[in-house]
Copies of this chain bind each other. A is one copy, B any other.
Amino acid sequence: MLAALCVLPRRAWAGAGDYLARAQSLVPMLTERGQPPVALVKPVADASRILRFRMEKVADAASLDERLLGKGDGFILDFEGHRTGTLSFDLVGEGQGVDAPVRLRLTFGEVPTDVAEPLRPYKGTLAEGWLPEEIITVDYLPQTVRLPHRYAFRYVKVEVFDTSNTFKVRFHNIKAVAISSAGAAPTPLNSGDAMLDRIDAVSVATLRDCMQTVFEDGPRRDRRLWVGDLRLQALTAYTTFGGHDLVKRCLYLFAAFPRADGLMQACVYEKPKPAQGGIAILDYAALWNVVLADYVAASGDLESARELWPVAVRQVEILSAMVKDGLFAPPKDAFLFIDWAQKLDRMAAAQGVLLYAFSRTLELAKRLDKDADVAQLPGLLVSMKAAIRAQLYDTKRGAFVSGPERQVSWASQAWLVIGGAPKNSAEAARALRTVMTDPAAVRPVTPYLYHYMVEAMLLAGMKREALALMKSYWGGMVEAGADTFWEVYEPGSPLTSPYGDIHINSYCHAWSCTPAWFLRTGRLKPAAATS
């Protein structure tokens, strides 16, 4: 399907092995911090809560030392915040004879639902192996136990299946072992607006818990490096934890595992050893170039940019070959992401992603004195904008449309604004306001697309509305009790799961961490400050 590409020189991606070696030289140190729980809690059904439960304190965490537990006993710990890591404790047997192994079930909850409801029967489409549950057997007591896997949690439900007739158990020194490669936490925002401060803090916690040996999409599930997530994590990291070297590692990891034709893969596996993800998403491939451009802008590291430049060129080559008469026309079976919204027609949004990625690549080319490598881009950008004007802009509605049914969506407006398609900011603002007031417009499902909507609104000069959208959307999760921001949040139907079961949703998902970027770069400020 991409016959034209066969003429390309091999050198562009023949250096994959070198890229991998560079990536592996940048594996960061993980630091561990032990943190005791703050309370024993119990979930109470509460229809007024978005996730249907509130947590009530049962006792101080210290009271656990006084509890002797046998068959059928249990408790729920609250660590008062989200952690990526594991759990450790000393398990002591007490009684006439500590004569048998102890079997425990531990359930790790990011949100109350995870520990309030049984996880089974599981109705989800994703692997059951992601359900955050562990059944362990402790052979000999006393024993210090450290759970063998990594989990994502604020709550831990511990159930004692059985001890024996002659002894019970007591837990001492129970603690979360928080694991992250993020460095020292940034100073609190102190914006003067408590909600914005909280949104910022939750953003920072989200990013921290996703910063491991790569930027993971979510520490509960997938735990994988994806281009789209990386782009937003990297942006936010530059203004919070830093992490430039981790971004660099991730750029090189992707560069090491292209598709056979050189197209960037959407994700890379890191363990047990780095390996290609086997999935190509065209908008993600385009965004890899944006990640590189952002990285150079943040770090000034031109040396790496030059090493990676052939990869960026290859993305332009492959993707621009899919543009026909100024319109992005990928093969029918190509995968575009943009957002999880099911009915979304993605073509117009993808056109916006390409416009933006090509523009950023062209800027980078200039900085690297490599304009000649992407000499087709200036003309291509002109023809793409012209085609948008001719075919994707509905003058009467004042909005961009997508696909044969001329679908109007938030995604199309956001990305075409970011790509620079509108004539001016007034036209951009009109398009954005149009979809925001049109109940029929296809809305985003993920914080990922909400981010780009807010970004587009800022480009269109809609600061107050952008702030209001951020406060209502991310603030909605805060009001629902979020300690970290979620993979999926639809204000109208908060119990939605793209995977058929909310118990498999990820409640710490890095593509939702960008409020800290908006706030800390000054793009968004408290109402008082923006007035």
Contacts and interface: CB of A to CB of B under 8 A. Distances in A.
A165 interface: yes
A490 interface: no
A472 interface: no
Number of copies: 2
A120 to B, nearest CB: 10
A163 B164 CA distance: 34
Interface string A120-157: 00000111111000110111111100001110000000
B127 A278 contact: no
B161 A272 contact: no
* The 10 residue pairs across chains A and B that have the minimum distance between CB atoms: A100-B127, A128-B162, A101-B129, A127-B164, A103-B129, A140-B271, A140-B272, A135-B135, A97-B278, A127-B162
A137 B106 CA distance: 13
Contact of A127 (B96, B127, B140, B163): B163
The residue among A142, A150, A272 with the most chain B CB atoms within 10 A of its own CB is A272
Contacts of A163: 127, 129
Interface string A462-489: 0000000000000000000000000000
Given A97-B277, A101-B127, A140-B271, 5 more contacts: A103-B129, A134-B137, A137-B149, A139-B149, A139-B150
A58 interface: no
A338 interface: no
A506 to B, nearest CB: 13
A102 interface: yes
Interface in A54-76: 71
A294 interface: no
Given A149-B137, A149-B139, A129 B162 contact: yes
A225 to B, nearest CB: 12
A99 B103 CA distance: 29
A314 interface: no
A71 B125 CA distance: 12
Given A99-B224, A278-B96, A279-B97, A271 B139 contact: yes
Interface string A78-104: 000000000000000000111111110
A222 interface: yes
A349 to B, nearest CB: 25
9 contacts: A99-B224, A101-B130, A103-B129, A126-B165, A127-B163, A127-B164, A129-B164, A135-B135, A143-B272
A127 B95 CA distance: 14
A127 B138 CA distance: 12
Contacts of A134: 137
A313 to B, nearest CB: 28
A138 B127 CA distance: 12
Contacts of A96: 278
Nearest to A105: B135
Contacts of A224: 99
A84 to B, nearest CB: 14
A165 B100 contact: no
Nearest to A130: B100
A461 to B, nearest CB: 42
A139 B127 CA distance: 12
B149 A129 contact: no
A100 B129 contact: yes
Given A129-B161, A162-B127, A141 B99 contact: no
B140 A129 contact: no
A150 to B, nearest CB: 8
Nearest to A162: B128
A71 B124 CA distance: 13
Interface in A356-397: none
A100 B139 CA distance: 29
B222 A141 contact: no
A149 B142 CA distance: 16
A474 to B, nearest CB: 28
A4 to B, nearest CB: 27
A308 to B, nearest CB: 25
A165 B135 CA distance: 24
A288 to B, nearest CB: 19
Given A127-B164, A162-B127, A222 B99 contact: yes
A103 B125 contact: no
A123 to B, nearest CB: 13
